[in-house]
Amino acid sequence: MVHGALTETQYAVLSCRGRGMSQKETAKALGTTRANVSMIEHRARKKVALARETLEAYRSTLTDHSVTVPKGTPFYDIPATVLAEGDRSGIHIRSNIVEIVRMVKAMRPAPLKEGKTIRRITFVFDKSGRLKIGRPAS
């Protein structure tokens, strides 16, 4: 059976770990060592992360455009970052600075602490310039 980019063993390890089994229990079930399970799990999780990044990049090429504001960005730099990405994409974003600030302040849980973002925030806008916070549509 094919499991995308994962080997059969990687899939089996992630499956066991996803069911709450410890690395030691997983090793026993698969007839290997805990150290080997640790290495297999690490490599499998790296593949999964890369696949997610690839999928997100692909989705952003569809109809929606996105801009991610990194963790640690000063609060008042967020609107300029978002509007600049709209300009780079050749799309006039229909939200103004005040509306973008309101969108961020309305987020729950709050993404800000001491005037800076404490996590990444992804803004999505379509070809007509409508802006929202979230992930690009697939």
List, for residues 68-95, the tens digit of each pLDDT value: 999 999 999 999 999 999 999 888 999 9
Residue 18 included in any domain: yes
pLDDT of amino acid 56: 74
Number of domains the chain is built from: 2
Q: Does residue 73 share a domain with residue 27?
A: no
Per-residue pLDDT band at 138 (split at 50, 70, 90): very low
Q: Does residue 70 share a domain with residue 126?
A: yes
pLDDT of amino acid 3: 77
List, for residues 19-68, the tens digit of each pLDDT value: 999 999 999 999 999 999 999 999 999 999 999 888 877 765 666 788 99
Residue (of 108, 130, 127) closest to 119 by Cα position: 108
Exposure string over 110-135, b if 16+ CB within 10 A, otherwise e: ebbeeeebeeebebbbbeeeebebee
From CA 63, how far away is CA 60, in angstroms rounded?
7
What domain range is 53 assigned to? 8-59
> Dihedrals φ, ψ of 61, to 5°?
-85, -5
List, for residues 92-106, the tens digit of each pLDDT value: 999 999 999 999 999
Q: Does residue 113 share a domain with residue 73?
A: yes
pLDDT of amino acid 91: 87
